[in-house]
Structure 1
């Protein structure tokens, strides 16, 4: 009895010591989601990996880890949230214990089963001059292109690197986008991170202050949208790698559990998952781990069963990777092109942004070159090769379902031959070191080049490109290109 009493007493004392630790390990987060004063049922609310649906009165209760900073809703189809200067307020910062975290939705005045979004990557401003160029070249073009979709539900996605290690420019970047007057959801890029901290967990703090969480989702029509952070800061100087951490996977698993299989799912992130269709052997060098997501296979696995589109940036060139019929990655060219030094990216893609048109389960897309008509989908050149004259075409949004053909004196000559090489215009810009102030800028070889050899010099030559949606683009090759 004495031993039993002492044993029980010791366990009781131990529990008294442990209970405060358990209490601070979690927190209680509760609130309500309403529209026009009435609760909205089945809205997904999350705080880290803790996820729940609202009840019939719009109420929810969560018990997330104490370290979580935000509670957020996955805005349901047919609804909208308030925006502050293009920033959607789908989240609330967790403050004092006992607070109610309530969300107010408004009904979407248009049917969002048909909707459009603009995706820009790597604005990467470092100065007021860059911001002025961004407003003049890109924002003004977006404003004009928005007229094409008047009366439709339109929003934007920024794929990260909004600034170039200059967080002081976040307010000016936000102000520069104000004329667009549409919601813009934002992914964090490596140049948006807070460097010089001791761990990955410290790298989001500045982004959080301006834009909220780096991991969230929302819905439009039948489509589900996910934004995540795959820039893993390693706690040393400014170094990072492409990596999805376990916290993100746990949240993603919960988020996708509410999305029916077969749905269209868009996953937005800064660093590409892969740059080739097949996963390459792992090589432990910085350029490899910083330009791709080292554990991409696990992410691809989680997307099985969905009609998934991964949309990324980071590389300052345009590249499409079709893994299979249900998984497509769009690596988007840079809005800043070559860091505001030239109007084309390292592969010759003009500065611009991507446009996606979604209706039900159907998705179409095109690349919109800033300052050009929507029909500007390739650039053609003459190029002398030994004793022959060739025509070169750079088709920057190409994938294997496109056709690239050529005509000589009105006669269809057939398909042009794909090859890997440098875009002539990008090569010329990057070689002019008097105009390019960053000496590390160099063109890259691209695989979306095509060539054909003329039968007769002086012939009239046209290039005809047909995209995967059957849209045809025809251009006569000019001598001065």
Structure 2
């Protein structure tokens, strides 16, 4: 952090400061037998449950009792343990927290839990950047993604930040819609989810906290410990950077002291881990753990990063970080389809969508799902519809494997009996994404005074160099006629997908 920004932050911190050091809050974590949310006679306390104020973490005693100091602008929250559930509000948001400003802190703060039998194998939906600008785009989220997720069988869901586009007033509409899926839904704070009228970083998530609870928190399910991190730090000038504060790092370290080494630790954040300041300290906390994984959004691309020693990772094996696909694609840009929803292709040429991650004990596997497309739509193959014999030697087959990584295997064959040929991974722009981008500035509506956005939607960013492209030369000596190329890819989770491209070889003119 720059010295001037740090000084301004310090002044702001001291101003908002901690409440007096002896101000403790006490409460009980109890088994809510009648599920009314209140501690009634005969309802026992539960021991060894983690409770936090966003920094310190304590475990309840044999009677379910706990106490913690008050920290201004920080919620008190329970870390949901495996085989228990916390209440949900009407939008399926977990009610695992109390805000100091909403509670008489002289009275006990009690957390209800209900018993639940949780399997070690379960699936979680992960949405990157839904990023709605107005109710029109809230409807895009619901019709493009949410409606199909109502039958996935996932048991939990997480939005990875940028839930809205600088308008926290839309939290209600977005969460009400996503809540129709009917599963507990957790949320991560993103740089577009902040309160613009708040100058101090500690208050930037004020509206977020009201709707979703603390912006740094944790919960457990099965053999997995999920940690949600607010890695957005706003300077007094309104600009932000990806940064983990010392308080966030202390919370992670304090909480993990209670988490067995054989559990999988999943870190969830908005800006990718590899772009986050102070990540080296986080790596030190995690370095002795064998089972870790992290996930983010923000980039509007889908990238599998294997964080190694050169990137500062301290563990024996590289740490897998997924930059998740975004629901909004490239900010809901592009021509609309017959339903009025933009194609919203991401900057790397992959379609907008989300991830379904299946956890099995302390292992996991990831499947990308393109919005409103079949489950096996996992790649685009680029090859001209027609080629002449003299073009065969200079033409290459190009494939965008949407969730591909440096550890993917990609092969192709010609026809039904042709040999399989390994394809070479390349960094290049997706040609279809580039074509769609070029449509935007040249489209002329022909109507005076009509803005381009009225027809095309928001202008797309220039496409990025995609990290999941493969190429190979077209097989030579092909006869005239119709042919098919099949591409097969196998990912790091041993999931295999295939696709086909039909083309013709015609006589030279």
TM-score bracket, shorter-length normalisation: 0.7 to 0.9
1:143-182 equivalences under 5 Å are 143-146=150-153, 154-182=155-183
Secondary structure class of the residue paired with 2:192: helix
Aligned to 1:30: 26
* Alignment match, 1:132: 139
**Which residue, 273, 292, 296 being the options, matches 2:279?**
296
Pick aligned residue for 1:76 from 70, 73, 81: 81
Given the alignment of the two structures, is residue 460 of structure 1 paired with residue 443 of structure 2, yes or no? no
Paired with 2:56 and 2:73, the residues of 1 have a C-alpha distance of: 10
Change (3 A) 1:272 1:436: farther
- The equivalent of 1:323 in structure 2 is 307
Deviates more, 1:50-59 or 1:191-200: 191-200
- 1:332-388 Cα shifts (integer Å, max 9, x gaps): 011011111233211111111111111212211111111122222211111588962
Q: 1:313 aligns with which of 270, 276, 297?
A: 297
Residue number among 89, 113, 119 corresponding to 1:105 in the alignment: 113
Q: Alpha-carbon deviation of 1:105?
A: 0.6
Matches within 5 A, 1:385-464: 388-410=394-416, 411-433=418-440, 434=443, 436-439=456-459, 441-456=461-476, 459-464=483-488
**Partner in structure 2 of residue 473 of structure 1:** 497
Ranges in structure 1 where 5+ consecutive residues have no aligned partner = 1-20, 275-291
Cα offsets for 1:9-62 (capped at 9, x unmatched): xxxxxxxxxxxx998234211100111222111000011322210011111111
- SS of match in other structure, 2:493: coil
Matches within 5 A, 1:327-346: 327-341=319-333, 342-346=343-347
Given that 1:121 and 1:160 are in contact with CA atoms closer than 8 Å, whether structure 2 keeps it comes out as yes
Check if 1:189 corresponds to 2:190.
Answer: yes
Gaps in structure 2 of 5+ consecutive residues: 1-16, 34-42, 309-316, 334-342, 444-454, 505-509
> Does the C-alpha gap of structure 1 residues 217 and 330 become closer, same or farther in structure 2, counting only changes over 3 Å?
same
Match among 129, 134, 146 for residue 122 of structure 1? 129
Q: How far apart, CA to CA, are the structure 2 residues paired with 1:127 and 1:51? A: 39
**Root-mean-square deviation over aligned CA pairs:** 2.1
Matched position secondary structure for 1:161: coil
Aligned partners of 2:284 and 2:152: how far apart in 1?
36
Cα deviation for residue 418 of structure 1 reads: 0.8
State the Cα distance separating 1:439 from its structure 2 match: 4.0
Of stretches 265-274 and 190-199 in structure 1, the one that deviates more from structure 2 is 190-199
TM-score (norm 2): 0.81
1:51 aligns with 2:57: yes
C-alpha distance in 1 between matches for 2:18 and 2:193: 35
1:421–1:26: structure 2 CA closer, same or farther, 3 Å change rule?
A: farther
Secondary structure at 1:474 match in 2: strand
Once the two structures are superposed, residues 58-105 of structure 1 have per-residue CA deviations (whole angstroms, 9 ceiling, x without a partner) of 11111244x243111110100011111121011111232311110111
2:269 aligned partner: 269
Asked if structure 2 preserves the Cα contact closer than 8 Å seen for 1:197 and 1:235, the reply is no
Shift of 1:431: 1.9
Which moves more between the two structures, 395-404 or 159-168? 395-404
Partner Cα separation in structure 2 for residue 337 and residue 68 of structure 1: 33
After TM superposition, give the deviation of residue 469 of structure 1 in Å: 2.4
2:27 and 2:108 in contact (8 A); partners too: yes
Question: In 2, distance between residues paired with 1:236 and 1:479?
Answer: 56
